[in-house]
Amino acid sequence: MRLASLLEYEGTDFHGFQSQEALPTIQGEIQQAFKSISINLDSFNYSGRTDAGVHALSQVFDFETSVQRGKEEWLNGLNSNLPRSIHIKDIIEVEDNFHSRYSAKERHYSYLIYNGKSKPTFFENFVHWDNSSLLDIDKMNTSAQELIGEHDFSSFRSSHCGSKNPIKTINKISITQHESFLILNISANAFLHNMVRIIAGTLIDISKDELKISMNKLIEEKDRRHAGKTLPAKGLFFLGPRYDTKLKINSPFADVLSIFKK
C-alpha cells in the first residue's frame, strides 16, 4: 500500500529537504525516524525540494510499505523519533499511482517580510527585515499582477537552476499586510529555483524605485541580471501542493503568521 504524509518543519538548522551526505536534512531525519521504528522504505517521494533555511507548513511525502499500522501508531512512532523542528501532522492511505511531486496540480508559497525600523529579534529566523519606510504595498500588488499567467520566467531563476523548462504558470499572487508584516502569497503549477525569492526581491526594489523596469519587461528580457535581488531563504514558507485526490490540504493561504501563535 501507499501512504502519504503531511509534514511541517522549521528549516533553519537544515541543509534543505533533500538528503545530502554528511549534512543534516529534513529527508535524512525522516528516513532515520523510519529506521528507528524498524521500517525500511521501499520508495520515498516528496512534493517540493526546499532549500537550506526554507520552512514548510504542509510538505507532502509518500512511501510504499506492507506494514499495517493505525494512523496514531504511525504518527506517534515517527514523531517521537524526529527533532522538535520537524512534525508529521497527518498520514493517510492514497492510490497506488499517487506521487507527491507528479500528482501535484499546484503549489503554494508565502514569503514573509517585516517592514519596520527596529530589527524583529524574535522573528529573526522567519522573516526578511526591510527597514525602509518607502515600501508601497499597492505598487507591489500592481506589479505582481503582471506575472499572472503562463510565461518564460528565466529572469526569475537562479544560475544554479536545473529545470529544463523555464515556462511556468502563476495562477495567483498577492501581497497582504498585517501590522508590520508584508506577506507575499503565490500559487503556480511549479516553480524555478529561487523563483519566489527573486520575485519578492524584485517587488521590493520596484516599490523603492531602485529598479525602474516593469515585470512585463523583465519577462520579455529573460535575463536574471535585470531582475531584483534574491531575498534570504528564511522568509520563505512552502504551504504545500494541491491534488485532485482525497489528500486535501487546508486553506493554501492560511495565515502564515499563525506559526508565531503556537
Task: List pLDDT tens digits, range 57-73.
Answer: 999 999 998 888 999 99
CATH architecture, domain defined by 106-238:
2-Layer Sandwich (3.30)
Report which secondary-structure segment, H or E, holds 59.
strand 55-64
Residue type, 182: L
CA 100 vs CA 12, 85, 125, 255: distances in Å: 23, 22, 27, 24
Specify the pLDDT at position 234.
96
Q: Which of the residues 51, 90, 136, 152 is marked catalytic?
A: 51
User: Quick check: 12 and 85 in contact, CB under 8 A?
Assistant: yes
CA 52 vs CA 30, 58, 176, 207, 231: distances in Å: 16, 17, 25, 27, 13
List, run by run, the mean pLDDT of 10-residue segments along the chain (262 residues).
93 94 94 91 88 94 90 95 95 91 94 93 93 89 97 94 92 93 95 97 95 94 95 96 74 61 54
Specify the pLDDT at position 250.
55
Vertex 144: Cα angle to 143 and 148 (nearest 5): 120
Specify the pLDDT at position 162.
82
Report which secondary-structure segment, H or E, holds 77.
helix 71-79
The runs of H, that is alpha helices, within 95-167 are 137-145
- Identical fold between 2-103 and 106-238: yes
- Which among 82, 110, 107, 112 has a CA at the least distance from the CA of 7? 82
Cβ neighbourhood burial of 238 (10 Å; 0-12, 13-18, 19+): buried
Specify the pLDDT at position 3.
92
Confidence (pTM): 0.93
Place of cell 519587461: 217
Place of cell 490540504: 249
Report domain extents, the chain.
2-103, 106-238
Specify the pLDDT at position 252.
55
Place of cell 536534512: 25
Task: Output phi, psi for 18, to 5 deg.
Answer: -65, 140
Specify the pLDDT at position 31.
93
Specify the pLDDT at position 161.
87
Cβ neighbourhood burial of 23 (10 Å; 0-12, 13-18, 19+): exposed
Specify the pLDDT at position 253.
56
One of 3.40.50.720, 3.40.50.11540, 3.30.230.20, 3.30.70.580 is the CATH number of 2-103, namely 3.30.70.580
Could you confirm whether 51 is annotated as catalytic? Answer: yes
Report which secondary-structure segment, H or E, holds 30.
helix 26-36
Q: What region, left, alpha or beta, does residue 191 occupy, with left being phi > 0 and alpha being psi -120 to 50 degrees?
A: beta
